[in-house]
Structure 1
Amino acid sequence: MNKKIQLLSILFLGVSQFAFSQIKEEKLVLNKKREPEVKKIEKKKTSVETIKNYPPEEKSQNPVKYTITDVPAVSDFKTSTIQGEDVAPKFDGTAQNNYVQFGMGNYGKILLDGNVSKVLDNKIEVGADVHLLSTSGLKKDYDWKSKQTSASFGAFLNSYGEKGKFNLNAEYGLNNYNYYGIYALEPAADVDLKQKVNQFKVNGYYDFYSNEILNDVRVKSSFLKDHFDAQENQVSILANLSKHAVELGKSGINLNADLGVGLEAVKTDFEIGNKNSSNFFNTNLAPKVTFRKGESYLMLGSLFSFLNAKNSNIQMEQMKNNKTYWFPQAEFQVAAAKEFKFYGGVDGGLKLNTYGDLLQANPYALSDQYLKPTETKYHFYVGLRGDIDETLKYDFSAGFGKMKDIMFFKANNLFDNNYTLNRSAYDFANTFSAVYDDGNVSDIKGSIQYFPLENLIIDGEVRFTKYSLKNYDNIYNVPLVNASIGAKYTMLDKKLLLGFKGIFASDRTTNSYAIEGVGSPNMIFQSTENTNDKVGGYADLNLSAEYKIHKNFSIFALGNNLLSSKYQTYKGYKVLGAQILGGVKITF
């Protein structure tokens, strides 16, 4: 098997004809470019001054447009361990916003994806998008249903005024799937394993062209409901106040001053199990100042959080918690040259864990969760990044942090021990619940982008993350190492785009259960927990190709999980094997 992986990897990298993957969902991203972003790997945000390249005159002549971020799900029905990226293929610099594409493949896969937008005479851009992905699942592996359908429908509006730009977008998302990961029992083929999640989002954003006083304002809201009547409402408001580019005498040092003010409220209610209910209201203040000279800078700041939390369920009365948090915020960069920039800093913060976030990480999470925030008391990091002749970009860093209430997923046992298979969809030891522990985290990460030819882009990322917990021996369902490598290659006068993406993860520890009937005759189920089970690592290799027959018409093909490894993302949840999808794309 190892030789097979090595030979295929060398072959794929050698021809450089690759991008990827099965499409999961799509998101509207303001100012998102279709062409690769050269500075993509410089992800660390600071209060360093940024020059906003959209004065009103230029905006009216060349308005910024929405594109769709199509998220590949690698080979899973609903990925949870692989983060999304723009789906390939897309032709750099020639792609159009208005398009529709349709594809079909094995495993009953159907893809429909489209986007349309128009700029009106009054500098207002309106648009809409739709995305649908359906698969019939692993019929040969499971007698019960494992099919899934995910869809999203969105509309957006951009308005460009004299002082700033305004964006409003709304999106409805549907994910209809099954808790198919049953490993400890043998249920009937017609067992009901259905779960369905509906989510509606409305977001607004106003960005001033200058960085004077009020920089930008963002408002986000989300309304979620699932098949088991769980409901979650969330709203957040963030305003950034700033005064940038204040010259300090003749020293050549500029001062940037920023103040972030944020409010976030989340209310979640569950209707099964313990019927957990939570209500969070969090206020953030983030003052910071940045001293900058050339590419070198020093940022000093703080983050203050004021949390009001309420939790209750059928086993306990409402618990209230009011607490004030302080977190350090600092970062420096010493730029010896554009090729070598040494940086480091410390940060921290409070993250509200919501049911919507849990489902994004693990769609098989039980519809009854005890929610509490995760506190990063501090996280120190140092790194080196640079740009070598605009051909090679790199960013390597290492960090260490102390955290409280680290959230991860633990497999659930049976909820009903009676000897019967006539039970709820989530009661086959096939769901997961959030658990929390305090501890330390060490991380090493690196990313690189290489542009050896004008028509060839190669990129790679690797991340090592090690947790040391207070109560648990191991953190469950978190790999020690994640890595990816990809390439895009255009040829035939940019009519043909080829791509490759390889995604790799190391082994993960999880808990699991062995279940047997006991009694005479069997009257109840008895479970034995294994707290050191393993979910194997994987190598998932993906190819893609698109050929532009006409400027408005092209054909494409995607090959996913070409090693045909039905690895598991969570215990019991096998992914699809080798998949081939082909289709057509029309732009207009």
Structure 2
Amino acid sequence: MNRKIQFLSIIFLGISSVAFSQIKEEKLILNKKREPEVKKIEKKKTSVEVIKNYPPEEKSQNPVRYTITDVPTVSDFKTSTIQGEDVAPKFDATAQNNYFQFGMGNYGKILGDANISKTLDNKLEVGGDVHVLSTNGLKKDYDWKSGQSTATIGAFLNSYGDKGKFNLNAEYGLDNYNYYGIYALQPSADVDLKQKVNQFKVNGYYDFYSNEILNDVRVKSSFLKDHFDAQENQVSILANFSKHAVDLGKSGIVMNADLGVGLEAVKTDFAIRNQNSSNFFNTNLTPKLTFRKGESYLMLGSSFTFLNAKNNNTLMAEQMKNNKAYWFPQAEFQLAASEEFKFYGGVDGGLKLNTYSDLLQQNPFILSDQYLRPTETQYHFYAGLRGDFDETVKYDFSAGYGKIRNMMFFQANGLFDNDYTLNRSAYNFANTFSAVYDDGNVSDIKGSVQYFPLANLSLDGEIRFQKYDLKNYEDIYNVPLLTASIGAKYTMLDKKLLLGFKGIFASDRTTNSYAIEAVQTPLAPSGMIFSSTEDRNDKVGGYADLNLSAEYKIHKNFSIFALGNNLLSSKYQTYKGYKVLGAQVLGGVKITF
């Protein structure tokens, strides 16, 4: 091993930490070479990921024996943000499905994590997992409660048949936290700021190994209720039909035909403030044809959407109804000069339903009363260059420009009344946010690189620039102009020591905020009221969040781990008023069986 490279890599690992958001995941590995994807893929806590053996004609010519490689549930360690993203080392090569983890750290952090599964003789796998994480929050920064606890309990079933794979999973999740981001008032220590969200999900997924006619079917359902009696029910069905590997004469061009058919229904009811309610029923048809020759291809398609929407609240004289059909372009091409240089470009668009569940994932401090509208990306053009240098360096750089209607972002709420009292509801301290919408254009530039200098070392970096030009708002709120990350994974001591790092960076963001003062008035019973002044050009500073992770395997069934988060101890704000945890250290033990 090159000592200089090893020495530099160890130093590099001392800067930051690995960040992942991964839940239980199974992979069908078909004896492929290592080809890590450059593009970041958001993994949902739902179905099992499957890597198919494309192109499908290889399956008919050479029978394939599928082997199952288990990747365990990785603990959802939180980063420095109380509601932050999940951080943990992930090492597939040493994965074991059955394990228990327990850890403790400063800020009162307690972690409990367990996963167990069993494969029966009929290739039926059953299992479940439990995950609990809690923190006391920022007791030294706030007199009032800022703690949070999360818990998920899940069960899953996998069946591996001769023609396809079936997955069914159910999960119950509980988020219990506080609207602690109060910056304009000074409430008492015993103020009630509690918010609690319960969500139950049931998902099913069937994937055929071949791509003949019916490719896969996915069914998802979600039932949500929060502390303020908001309720949301959601169900979606997606079926993908396909006919792949159609030879077009002797040209060497192969055609793939695909048709996606999707149905989605969402019903949301809020019980406070304006008591907004919405009901969406959405139908999607996405036909496309792909012509491929070698690594070059041309995809031509469309997206047809039919939306039925109903909205009403206590301020509306009558229910607002909207029935509308949409058409969006879908096209992409790639010209592959070589494995190292592949030029690509295209155009896409679509309609996204903004649900209460999705909004909570982006910002848990939103008011439990939202006016929900779908976001329409009329078009988004993009072009880029990607490639792979001998499976050692992979890169992807692109730029794009799009036009969007009803672009959603978060605006800070002020006080909902001017009564001179601190006996207020948990959300009535200028400490919540609401979704607002505007039309506009977006320009984006993004790039990602992965580098594998050694067999046991991988480095990655990602950067994204987004500039918004809105119709009504001068600036988009709570969206950074620039975000970036760097990371690494490293194994040493004969794969007994597993190290990781991740650095997360974001530029300054614009937000609105409120200054509140007491004003005398003879009209109020108490002789005083609160007066609010809005600042529409406030700034929430950028940040650098550096993290480290390590796991040492003492025995094949026993290991210890440690995490260091926000090592610069910067109590930056993700949203106005919501400081994050400072430097954190968490350690624990992991038992596999």
TM range (shorter): over 0.9
Match of 2:572 in 1: 567
Match of 2:121 in 1: 121
Match of 1:169 in 2: 169
Match of 1:6 in 2: none
Match of 1:220 in 2: 220
Cα 1:461–1:128, aligned 2, differ >3 Å: closer, same or farther? Answer: same
Residue type of the partner of 1:548? K
Match of 1:184 in 2: 184
Name the stretch that deviates more: 366-375 or 122-131. 122-131
CA contact 1:18–1:498 (8 Å) conserved in 2: no
- Aligned counterparts, 1:26-45, within 5 A: 27-31=23-27, 38-42=35-39
Match of 1:555 in 2: 560
Match of 1:359 in 2: 360
Shift of 1:413: 0.7
Deviations 1:382-403 (A, max 9, x none): 0000000111000000000000
Deviations 1:121-175 (A, max 9, x none): 0010111011111000000000000000011111100011121111000000000
Shift of 1:98: 1.1
Residue type of the partner of 2:473? Y
Match of 1:16 in 2: 13
Cα 1:54–1:315, aligned 2, differ >3 Å: closer, same or farther? Answer: farther
Match of 2:54 in 1: 50
Counterparts of 2:307 and 2:487, CA distance in 1: 42
Cα 1:399–1:259, aligned 2, differ >3 Å: closer, same or farther? Answer: same
Counterparts of 1:532 and 1:64, CA distance in 2: 51
Shift of 1:90: 3.3
Counterparts of 1:358 and 1:148, CA distance in 2: 18
Match of 2:73 in 1: 68
2:335 matches 1:339: no
Residue type of the partner of 2:224? L
Deviations 1:272-311 (A, max 9, x none): 0000000000000000000000000000000000000000
Cα 1:13–1:310, aligned 2, differ >3 Å: closer, same or farther? Answer: farther
Name the stretch that deviates more: 111-120 or 439-448. 111-120
Q: Which runs of no fewer than 5 residues in structure 2 stay unpaired?
A: 1-6, 43-51
Shift of 1:27: 3.2
Residue type of the partner of 1:552? N
- Aligned counterparts, 1:212-291, within 5 A: 212-291=212-291
CA contact 2:16–2:546 (8 Å) conserved in 1: no
Counterparts of 2:377 and 2:371, CA distance in 1: 19
- Aligned counterparts, 1:318-397, within 5 A: 318-397=319-398
Counterparts of 1:260 and 1:91, CA distance in 2: 34
Q: Which runs of no fewer than 5 residues in structure 1 stay unpaired?
A: 1-9
CA contact 2:25–2:70 (8 Å) conserved in 1: no
Counterparts of 1:293 and 1:549, CA distance in 2: 50
Counterparts of 1:526 and 1:11, CA distance in 2: 57
Shift of 1:119: 0.8
Match of 2:540 in 1: 535
The answer to which structure, 1 or 2, has the higher relative contact order (CA under 8 A, 6+ apart) is: 1
SS across alignment from 1:464: strand
Counterparts of 1:36 and 1:137, CA distance in 2: 45
Counterparts of 2:117 and 2:71, CA distance in 1: 8
SS across alignment from 2:574: coil
2:200 matches 1:200: yes
CA contact 1:22–1:560 (8 Å) conserved in 2: no
Residue type of the partner of 1:50? Y
CA contact 2:153–2:171 (8 Å) conserved in 1: yes
Deviations 1:530-569 (A, max 9, x none): 0000000000000111111001101111000000000000
Cα 1:539–1:340, aligned 2, differ >3 Å: closer, same or farther? Answer: same
Name the stretch that deviates more: 512-521 or 205-214. 512-521
Counterparts of 1:106 and 1:420, CA distance in 2: 35
Shift of 1:67: 3.3
Counterparts of 2:134 and 2:8, CA distance in 1: 31
- Aligned counterparts, 1:412-431, within 5 A: 412-431=413-432
Counterparts of 2:588 and 2:405, CA distance in 1: 48
CA contact 2:277–2:313 (8 Å) conserved in 1: yes
SS across alignment from 2:291: strand
2:488 matches 1:487: yes
Deviations 1:44-66 (A, max 9, x none): 99xx993479999866x633546
Match of 2:508 in 1: 507
Match of 1:146 in 2: 146
- Aligned counterparts, 1:73-112, within 5 A: 73-79=78-84, 87-112=87-112
Counterparts of 1:359 and 1:216, CA distance in 2: 29
Counterparts of 1:534 and 1:203, CA distance in 2: 41
- Aligned counterparts, 1:464-483, within 5 A: 464-483=465-484
2:551 aligned to which of 539, 546, 571 = 546
Shift of 1:493: 1.0
Residue type of the partner of 1:516? E
Match of 1:3 in 2: none
CA contact 1:18–1:545 (8 Å) conserved in 2: no
Shift of 1:28: 3.6
Shift of 1:99: 1.1
CA contact 2:370–2:435 (8 Å) conserved in 1: yes
SS across alignment from 1:314: coil
Counterparts of 2:182 and 2:63, CA distance in 1: 59
Percent identical: 76
Shift of 1:523: 1.9
Instruction: Provide the TM-score with structure 1 as the length reference.
Output: 0.93
CA contact 1:181–1:573 (8 Å) conserved in 2: yes
2:307 matches 1:307: yes
Shift of 1:13: 7.3
Deviations 1:16-68 (A, max 9, x none): 25774689x763445399x99733214699xx993479999866x63354632
Shift of 1:460: 0.6
Counterparts of 2:364 and 2:433, CA distance in 1: 9
Residue type of the partner of 1:511? N
SS across alignment from 2:358: helix
Counterparts of 1:225 and 1:399, CA distance in 2: 38
Instruction: Provide the TM-score with structure 2 as the length reference.
Output: 0.92
Residue type of the partner of 2:568? L
Counterparts of 2:565 and 2:39, CA distance in 1: 29
1:576 aligned to which of 562, 577, 581 = 581
Shift of 1:245: 0.2
Counterparts of 1:253 and 1:306, CA distance in 2: 34
CA contact 1:115–1:130 (8 Å) conserved in 2: yes
Deviations 1:342-379 (A, max 9, x none): 00000000000000000000000000000000000000
Counterparts of 2:119 and 2:440, CA distance in 1: 51
Alignment RMSD: 2.4
CA contact 1:509–1:533 (8 Å) conserved in 2: yes
SS across alignment from 1:14: helix
SS across alignment from 2:436: strand
